[in-house]
Chain A
Amino acid sequence: MIQRLLPFATLIVLFVILLFDQNFRSETNLFSVIRQTAVINIMALGMTMVIITAGIDLSVGSILAMGGLLGTMAMAQGQPILVGVLVGILTGALCGFVNGYLITRLKINAFIVTLGTLGIIRGLTLVISNGLPVHQIPPGFSFLGEGIILGVPFVLWVLLICALLVHFLLEHTKLGRYSFAIGSNPDAAFYAGIPVAFHLTCVYAICGALTGLAGMIEASRLMTGQPTAGNGYELQAIAAVVIGGGSLRGGEGSVVGTLVGAFIMGLLSNGSDLKGISPYWQQVIIGTIIILAVSFDELRKRRVV
């Protein structure tokens, strides 16, 4: 139990320590932490579902760029903002569907498939955009990333809605229950007559859709559709899930854990910035945290069995 609460405790301790810093306490800084974390957080929610099925999606960074690019291109073509956002989400869902389809039909390991699509989708993003960012975006679009509702950033509400949605999917639907079963023992799931391929494809598509939304938020914050956006984000999303107690062996993971994991990383990076720790050292710190988190988790499990 103690170890299960460890990520949570770490987050609180981190937060309390940082509260002593005047710069941290400022509204501008707090909002910026939320906005920075939201993008990774929303991706990590989708990644949580994928990792629960004992899968992995390395292509989310590329999907984020593709979603953001096509969404902003739709707006640049004169489509309304809402349509643009939908285009971004659907693009992500389609990419995720392709991942899921390849994994389940060709029966290739998810790591390999998404390693391939990481390159393919990134490449296509550059081909479509010719390497150039999209700038002709309606000014109202900035509200998604920078707007404020009820005194907090709009993205926080978006994040909360996504978190509730994924939590509901995982805990209260057949899809969620099957995801845990598939991740915990794929053979037993198959023998139980669960349509494993269908549900896995759904999970990857949902992960893609959330990543597409994250891509639109990223585009809104930058007010450009960047074909190079999201480079390396996949590892941050995976790290958030793992720090929050998700297991790459599948069958384990939770929305709350992932939120905590993502905020730990967000606060670490913000805190390091404020304390003047170089971004080089930040990478070392985050890497250490990942290994520590997983070690504690393994210790806990060893004691149980």
Chain B
Amino acid sequence: MLLDLKSVQKRFGGVTALRDGNLSVREGEVHLLMGENGAGKSTLMKIVAGMQGLDDGQMLFRGQPVNFANPKAAAASGIAMVHQESLLASHLTVGENIFLGREEMSGFGIVNRSAMMSRAAKLIEAHGFPLQAHWRVDRLSPAGRQLVEICRAIANGTSLLIFDEPTSSLSESETKEVFTIVKKLKEKGAGVIYITHRLEELRTIGDRVTVLRDGATVHSGDLKDLSRSQLIQHMVGRDLGALYSRQPYPAGKPLLEVKNLNRAKILKDINLTLRSGEIVGLAGLMGAGRTELCRAIFGIDAADSGELIVDGKPVKLTSPRDAVNAGIALIPEDRQKTGLATQLSVGWNLTLTSLGAHSRFGILESAKLTATEKKFIDRLRIKTDGPAQKSVRLSGGNQQKIVIAKWVAQGARIFLFDEPTRGIDVGAKTEVFEVMDGLARDGAAILMVSSELTELIQVADRILVMRQGKLSGELPGRTTQEEIMALAAFEEETQS
């Protein structure tokens, strides 16, 4: 046994993150770690990687009891972790980041930069990543950063590699490359622990699976013995029944029309219409321009040409403020960075966009505010101790509900959801879909960007597909993943 965790416990102040964490990983296996957000997966992995100490229980590595004091100690034993959120020095280059903290030295404390960079270049080339060793990390997309993280983790040879949701921001081909790396490591006899929310990925890659729920291991066993619904049941502890499916709703009048929208090389001649009561899916590979389209509609990036028509009237949107005034809301893909002021309370975040309606001459009407806060916590079933709790303490799903609720409270009519289910657990996903459905029924128009094709098929009335900045086609809601992929990737393949 490579790694053995027995009854591991971890508390943060009064909160118990782990009460009974058990996990055994063999050499040469890919071990999936699953569970809803807040189940304790990341905490367990941080203990293994030496980022946090355990309060109780035992950790055995190659049969020896260990308790790593810091990530460096874990790395010395050959344990590396690819993090979900990027932990890179953004002003340094790709190569410098790969070897950060273990630079090639040429004596007297001088870094042998050229040797280091060429080693990095070789590493990148060996895996066929679309990266250059001399690129600065802050210019990279989230996917690019993720690949740097992976290079960093495998650079010095590891015997246990932990992936924390590595593919949530990667494109199809990059995901394949990650899987190839995982398979290579497995052949070499290394253990791989793989945290994922994407059920589809399981079959192709995993050998065994451990499911955590509420800080305790509830299931551990071979993956092939386990059906998808059994797995979901272990994770949520109840029978979810069928996957989410939505009754389509007759669409009303157009709320948002985009005409001939262009933005240098990123958006090319985009035309689309969102009608009241409909959920329009937007599919596409990473870098196809989906997020950029949302940003252009929301007034963050200025378009070079094109027209926006809201509710039949042409509008000029040069800032998010204009967009908000026109009744447009953006639920951004990066919740922590742009969606939520995580250090502020739940209540303050909920009412941030609707303070104007809750104040007279700039003075807040606290009774009205409290009522609104309560109303939306109840309506969206946000799990919180109360409006005064800091948003950072909530799970991803509940944070996402806050972001949605603040726009509902504001009275927006056009919703741009950019990857609304990223990093949130199965149960919360369904709840988010229900909220979106409710909004559509109340007459809102919804654009839903998602990389999860099954979600688009489940939720959207029709699906637009983007490829290289252009809309490459439109499909009915009840389509197949293959048809979407064909539109999203086809031309790329013929060109290359």
A and B contact pairs by CB, cutoff 8 A, 12 listed: A173-B362, A173-B363, A174-B362, A175-B362, A184-B343, A184-B344, A185-B342, A188-B340, A192-B320, A192-B324, A192-B406, A193-B323
Contacts A174-B356, A184-B341, A185-B340 known; A190 to B320 CB distance under 8 Å? Answer: yes
Chain B 392-406: CB-based contact to A (< 8 A → 1; otherwise 0): 100000000000001
Q: Is B324 a contact partner of A181 (Cβ separation < 8 A)?
A: no
Asked whether any CB of chain B lies closer than 8 Å to the CB of A304, the reply is yes
Asked whether any CB of chain A lies closer than 8 Å to the CB of B435, the reply is no
Chain A 141-162: CB-based contact to B (< 8 A → 1; otherwise 0): 0000000000000000000000
Chain A nearest CB, measured from B38 CB (Å): 15
- Could you say which residues of chain B place their CB within 8 Å of the CB of A173? 359, 362-364
- Could you say which residues of chain A place their CB within 8 Å of the CB of B340? 185, 188
B contacts with A, residue count (CB < 8 A): 32
What does DSSP make chain A's interface, helix, strand, loop or mixed?
Answer: helix
Q: Is A185 a contact partner of B341 (Cβ separation < 8 A)?
A: yes
- Could you say which residues of chain A place their CB within 8 Å of the CB of B319? 193
- Could you say which residues of chain B place their CB within 8 Å of the CB of A119? none
A251 and B341 CA atoms in complex are apart in Å by: 9
Asked whether any CB of chain B lies closer than 8 Å to the CB of A293, the reply is no
- Closest A residue to B298 by beta carbon equals A191
B window 361-396: CB within 8 A of A: 362-364, 366, 390, 392
Asked whether any CB of chain A lies closer than 8 Å to the CB of B348, the reply is yes
- Closest A residue to B13 by beta carbon equals A303
A180 and B349 CA atoms in complex are apart in Å by: 11
Q: Is B348 a contact partner of A181 (Cβ separation < 8 A)?
A: yes
Asked whether any CB of chain A lies closer than 8 Å to the CB of B251, the reply is no
Q: Is B341 a contact partner of A193 (Cβ separation < 8 A)?
A: no
- 10 closest A-B pairs by beta carbon, nearest first, are A193-B324, A184-B341, A185-B341, A193-B321, A187-B338, A193-B320, A184-B343, A191-B338, A174-B355, A174-B362
Chain B nearest CB, measured from A173 CB (Å): 5
A window 226-269: CB within 8 A of B: 251-252
Asked whether any CB of chain A lies closer than 8 Å to the CB of B353, the reply is yes
- Closest A residue to B342 by beta carbon equals A185
Contacts A173-B363, A181-B348, A305-B392 known; A188 to B341 CB distance under 8 Å? Answer: yes
Question: Which of B324, B353, B362: most chain A Cβ within 10 A?
Answer: B362
Asked whether any CB of chain B lies closer than 8 Å to the CB of A195, the reply is yes
Question: Which of B323, B332, B338, B390: most chain A Cβ within 10 A?
Answer: B338
Contacts A174-B359, A195-B321 known; A189 to B341 CB distance under 8 Å? Answer: yes
Chain B nearest CB, measured from A68 CB (Å): 30
Asked whether any CB of chain B lies closer than 8 Å to the CB of A101, the reply is no
Q: Is B362 a contact partner of A251 (Cβ separation < 8 A)?
A: no
Q: Is B355 a contact partner of A177 (Cβ separation < 8 A)?
A: yes
Q: Which residues of A are at the interface with B, using a C-beta cutoff of 8 A?
A: 172-175, 177-178, 180-181, 184-185, 187-195, 251-252, 303-305
- Closest B residue to A191 by beta carbon equals B338
Q: Is B339 a contact partner of A191 (Cβ separation < 8 A)?
A: yes
Asked whether any CB of chain A lies closer than 8 Å to the CB of B303, the reply is no
Q: Which residues of B are at the interface with A, using a C-beta cutoff of 8 A?
A: 13, 298, 300, 319-321, 323-325, 330, 332, 337-344, 348, 352-353, 355-356, 359, 362-364, 366, 390, 392, 406
Q: Is B339 a contact partner of A188 (Cβ separation < 8 A)?
A: yes
Chain B nearest CB, measured from A295 CB (Å): 19
Q: Is A251 a contact partner of B343 (Cβ separation < 8 A)?
A: yes
Q: Which of B344, B353, B359, B362 interacts with A193 by CB under 8 Å?
A: B353
A173 and B363 CA atoms in complex are apart in Å by: 4
- Could you say which residues of chain A place their CB within 8 Å of the CB of B330? 191
A184 and B324 CA atoms in complex are apart in Å by: 21
Chain B nearest CB, measured from A3 CB (Å): 13
Question: Which of B324, B348, B355: most chain A Cβ within 10 A?
Answer: B355
Chain A nearest CB, measured from B446 CB (Å): 18
- Could you say which residues of chain B place their CB within 8 Å of the CB of A185? 337-338, 340-344
Q: Is A174 a contact partner of B352 (Cβ separation < 8 A)?
A: no
Q: Which of B325, B339, B352, B359 interacts with A181 by CB under 8 Å?
A: B352
- Could you say which residues of chain A place their CB within 8 Å of the CB of B323? 193
- Could you say which residues of chain B place their CB within 8 Å of the CB of A175? 362
A296 and B353 CA atoms in complex are apart in Å by: 34
- Could you say which residues of chain B place their CB within 8 Å of the CB of A172? 363-364, 366
- Could you say which residues of chain A place their CB within 8 Å of the CB of B324? 192-193
Q: Is A191 a contact partner of B332 (Cβ separation < 8 A)?
A: yes
A184 and B345 CA atoms in complex are apart in Å by: 11
A191 and B410 CA atoms in complex are apart in Å by: 13
A184 and B330 CA atoms in complex are apart in Å by: 19
A251 and B339 CA atoms in complex are apart in Å by: 16
Q: Is B338 a contact partner of A188 (Cβ separation < 8 A)?
A: yes
Chain A nearest CB, measured from B317 CB (Å): 11
A1 and B372 CA atoms in complex are apart in Å by: 28
Q: Which of B13, B348, B392 interacts with A177 by CB under 8 Å?
A: B348
- Could you say which residues of chain A place their CB within 8 Å of the CB of B321? 193-195
A175 and B332 CA atoms in complex are apart in Å by: 24
- Could you say which residues of chain A place their CB within 8 Å of the CB of B355? 174, 177-178
Chain B nearest CB, measured from A248 CB (Å): 14
Q: Is B320 a contact partner of A251 (Cβ separation < 8 A)?
A: no
- Closest B residue to A182 by beta carbon equals B341
